[in-house]
Chains A and B, each alone.
Chain A
Amino acid sequence: MNDNQTALTLADLSFAYPSQHAILRQLDLTIAPGERVGLIGPNGTGKTTLFLLICGVLKPTAGEIFLFGQPMRYGAFRPEIGLVFQNPDDQLFSPSVRDDVAFGPQNLGLSKAEVDTRVMESLRTTGTLDLAERPPHHLSGGEKRMVAIAGVLAMRPRFVIYDEPSSNLDIRARRRLIRFLQAATETLLIASHDLEFILEVCDRVLLLDGGRIVADGAPRDILGDPALMQAHGLERPHSLVPHEIPHHR
């Protein structure tokens, strides 16, 4: 497999915390540039751990990670990949929105003018320009989410990972996020319990359980397979449940 053609390659990736049982077991995965991959699975399967490994924040116990053809070294800073956390509070650590979005570009060593340009661009793309001077704790859940995304986009990543992006969003914010992601051009990897969200945004779905990828395919095929979903502690999303089966109250 020509690594230069993939956005992400995982080869035999394993991970366990010291003297604890394995979280990920010999994972093999390739994601092509431009793919929009959804990651589903019951709680505790190691989705967040996987993301931290891919981004170089955790060190694999075994196996290799390649990002756009280059091996991912533990501790390296690779701005081509961005990760949007489950809890935006943990990610918005600067005193104001503007400062926070500028954090990444500043660490890239860009000039002040270039940093300002990137900040403006990211705020505009995420529709958060009028929040620029606000402190993070004055923002609503949806606003925090979009600002966190802006902070990641300001580094112009080619691959963005989203960890439970629709959690704690009200309907309007969720819909805004879906439209935003549908228009995104980066390679996407999205972990979510919100299966309808995955249906609307992703073109490929991975099912992670017991530290292994147990299914990989088109969203409708995977999410619409009742036996598969149930076997791994999940259910089919409502839109894929035929109405002949009574399931409303």
Chain B
Amino acid sequence: MLDLSVDEYAHLNSPLHRWEIRYKIAGLLALIFAFSFVRDLRLLPAMLVVTLALYLLSKLPWRYLAHRLEYPGFFILMLAVILPLTTGATVLFQLGPIAIRAEGCLSVVLIVVRFGCILTVGLVCFGTAPFLDAVRALRALGLPALISDMILLAYRYLFEIGTDLMQMRTAMRLRGFRPRRPDTETLNTIGSLVGSLLVRTYERAERVYKAMRLRGYGHGHTIRNELRTRPGDVLAAIAAGLLAAAFIGAQFYLNR
């Protein structure tokens, strides 16, 4: 599960891959927020065009997008079924007691397009550079050092700790643990599983801390890698910012 990482296509070469990561994150996140402002259906086509253009420019494969839309798309799908049946007074379609309402359908369109566009631009943002570069960029953009250090260490040991858990679960299953109900036995066993995972993690953390101390942790500073910014990076970020402002402005204008 952990190996199909979001940056599996970070090695490709496209204008978006070449966009310096700090400016890319700033610009695309501004755009994503602007999208979340949109409530007027007339702005949706523009959103779709911008999103499509960005994705095509990124040269990321379509199956990448499709695969990553699956899980979150499931919840959106549920809304897509519920809302038209419950929201609004204007009935488009009636089949016995079930009425499909216009306002509900329009709500669904709005939510689905917003969700799709935000997710796609998010993938363009984080799928076109290694995940760790993104974390370093966030640090450069102002994320507190403690948080970014925590992210890097947590990310580093995610795989090992995940493996610990898998091994323990396999061991349990091989000894016949196949829970069916949340009864006392199940809860006790899962409680022991969680407890054991935490104890093993604690002991691992102690060893890691010793290893860090042995190589001077606490005695020096990490040198930050200098990122080379080109004028194109800054211009692209400004363009993205203006686009974001345009969407927000348009929304307010249409809404007044």
Contact = CB atoms under 8 A, between A and B. Distances in A.
B220 interface: yes
B219 interface: yes
Instruction: Pick from A79, A82, A90 the residue with the most CB of B within 10 Å.
Output: A90
Interface string A32-63: 00000000000000000000100101000000
A79 B153 CA distance: 23
B216 A107 contact: yes
Interface residues of B, number: 24
Interface stretch (A23-31, A91-99, A120-128, A216-224): A91-99
Contacts of A66: none
Nearest to A86: B207
B211 interface: yes
Contacts of B213: 57, 77
B215 A112 contact: no
A107 B215 contact: yes
A57 to B, nearest CB: 5
Contacts, number: 66
Main secondary structure of the interface of B (DSSP, over half): helix
A93 B153 contact: yes
Given A95-B156, A137-B160, A107 B217 contact: yes
Nearest to A104: B215
Nearest to A155: B215
Contacts of A107: 215-217, 219-220
Contact of A57 (B159, B210, B220): B210
A93 B212 contact: yes
Interface string B197-236: 0000000100110111111110111110000000000000
Interface string A128-168: 00000001110000000000000110010000000000000
A89 to B, nearest CB: 6
A103 B210 contact: no
A108 B219 CA distance: 8
A137 B159 contact: yes
A57 B156 CA distance: 23
Contacts of B204: 89-90
A55 B214 contact: yes
Contact of A94 (B152, B214, B223): B152
A85 interface: yes
A89 B160 contact: yes
B37 interface: no
A207 to B, nearest CB: 26
Contact of B220 (A55, A85, A91, A109): A109
Contact of A103 (B157, B160, B215): B215
B64 interface: no
B83 to A, nearest CB: 42
B218 to A, nearest CB: 8
Instruction: Pick from A55, A83, A135, A152 the residue with the most CB of B within 10 Å.
Output: A135
A89 B153 CA distance: 12
A94 B220 contact: no
B216 A104 contact: yes
A94 B216 contact: no
Nearest to B3: A138
B216 A115 contact: no
A85 B211 CA distance: 8
A58 B37 CA distance: 56
B56 to A, nearest CB: 28
A89 B155 CA distance: 13
B200 to A, nearest CB: 12
Contacts of A89: 160, 204
B211 A96 contact: no
Contacts of A55: 214
B132 interface: yes
Contacts of B153: 93
29 contacts: A52-B210, A55-B214, A57-B210, A83-B214, A87-B207, A90-B204, A90-B210, A93-B157, A93-B211, A93-B212, A94-B152, A95-B132, A95-B152, A95-B156, A103-B212, A103-B216, A103-B217, A104-B216, A106-B216, A106-B223, A107-B215, A107-B217, A107-B219, A108-B220, A112-B223, A115-B223, A137-B159, A137-B160, A155-B215
Given A57-B213, A94-B156, A155-B215, 8 more contacts: A77-B213, A77-B216, A85-B207, A93-B157, A93-B212, A94-B152, A104-B216, A152-B215
Interface of B: 132, 152-153, 155-157, 159-160, 204, 207-208, 210-217, 219-223
